Every structure is written in structure tokens, then in C-alpha cells.
Amino acid sequence: MSNQEAGVRVSLDIWHPDCWTLEVTESADGGLLGHGVHEIDGLANGRFTVYADSTEELDQLVAAVRDSPLTESVWETGDFEDETVPGSATRGIVVRYDLNNSINDALVSRGFIPDEPVRMQGGREQWTVLVHESRHTVHERLEAIRAEKEADVRVELITAPKGGTGMFRTDALSERQREVYELARRRGYYAWPRETSAAELAAEVDVSKATLLEHLRKAESKLLGGD
């Protein structure tokens, strides 16, 4: 792995069952940032920032976290100013919940190291992780996570080290897949929050939304050695 010493960054879009963060954000106007999960007394203890556009929406989201049958307890850590957090109102909380309902250990134990706070919004989790493995190994480990957690794990973006090729190369893609993948990157489709939609990208390249998403999925699979 001499050309992979720096590893790569992979952005993952994840859904998995029995997850309170996905349950409470599915229809909420705000969202959550996850800052880490630790096991204490057999339970997962996660620190989160709750955000929304108003105090009322924030209170509703925190109440939903407290009321969720998937959480054991919630305590607040107060409000902290952080320009990187979206929304006009924020609040820090610590949540205790069933460790089996967290996907954190399934990722970390397979070498996916979180590089940014995990973003939970609209019933999905957005992870940015560092990994130092071969393409085939990364693909196999993501498949193992999908099977173990019954999870929907989508590869959103793969970033090679600056100045290097890394282990993921777009020359494995067809001309059309590379065109769509690079357009999505340039237009901010993989940014957070997204700067464009799949429908807008599809209109730009004159294909249906379903066709565009299929091109992206095939590109992601090839980049991870899945084809």
C-alpha cells in the first residue's frame, strides 16, 4: 500500500433499523450532529448537537428524542455557539440507548474512522470516514455491515489524498458514469447541505432521475471494486 499511506475519505449515506436518530429526524425540520458514542454500563452514550430554525422546532425535536421508545435517557449540556452547525437554534444533549441499535461499532471495528461529526437529517445518517484498505476490502467490509445491521449503506463520495491518486480511480468508470459522477461533485450534490438535487442533475444531462441515480450507484460500486 505504498501509494495509500494517507488513506482516503469516504462519505456514506446510511439507514439502519431501530435507530432513534433516524426515527426522530425523519419528519422533523431540524436535525442532529453526532460527536461520538461510548459504551458505559452496557449502554451507548452519545453526545449530540440538536439544531433547528427556531426555538419551537428545537424544543419539539428534543421532546421527540426524550419520548422515543428507543432512548433510555436524555440530559442537556447547554447551548454552545458553533458557526458550523446549521439552523438558528442549537442545544447539546447526551443520550443513552441500546448499544445494539448503534451502527458506530460496526463501522469503527472494520476500520472506518469518523473524520467529521455524523449528520442525521431527514431519516438518514451522513458519515465521513477515513479508511486505509484496498478497494476490494472496503467493498467487502461495507457488505458485511449491510448484512450485520440490515442497513442501507450508500457510497456518496470518495476523496483521494491531495496530490495523489489514492486507491480509487475514476478511470474504471464508463464515459457516461464518469460524466455524471464528476458533474454531481462539481454541482455540490455530495456537499452538506446539498447544493443541487438529483432531479436538477438529471435535467442538466437530459436523463430521468432514476437513470441518473443508477449511473451514480454503478459509479460508486466500481470505485469500490464492487463490479
Give me the pLDDT at residue 2, please.
Answer: 43
In a domain, 178, yes or no: no
In a domain, 120, yes or no: no
Chain-centre distance of CA 121, in angstroms? 10
In a domain, 149, yes or no: no
Q: How many domains does the chain have?
A: 1
Q: Please report the sign of the dihedral spanned by the C-alpha atoms of residue 209, residue 211, residue 212, residue 214.
A: positive
In a domain, 25, yes or no: yes
Q: What distance in Å separates the CA atoms of residue 31 and residue 45, rounded to the nearest whole number? A: 18
In terms of residue numbers, what domain contains 74? 17-102
Give me the pLDDT at residue 161, please.
Answer: 61
Residues 6+ apart with CB under 8 A from 226: 139, 220
In a domain, 177, yes or no: no
Q: What distance in Å separates the CA atoms of residue 129 and residue 214, rounded to the nearest whole number? A: 24
- Residues 58, 63, 67: CA angle, nearest 5 degrees: 155
Q: What is the pTM of this model?
A: 0.73
**Percent of the chain's residues with pLDDT above 70:** 85
Encode pLDDT of 6-26 as tens digits: 577 888 999 999 999 999 999
In a domain, 5, yes or no: no
Encode pLDDT of 69-105 as tens digits: 999 999 998 765 565 677 788 999 999 999 999 999 9
In a domain, 75, yes or no: yes
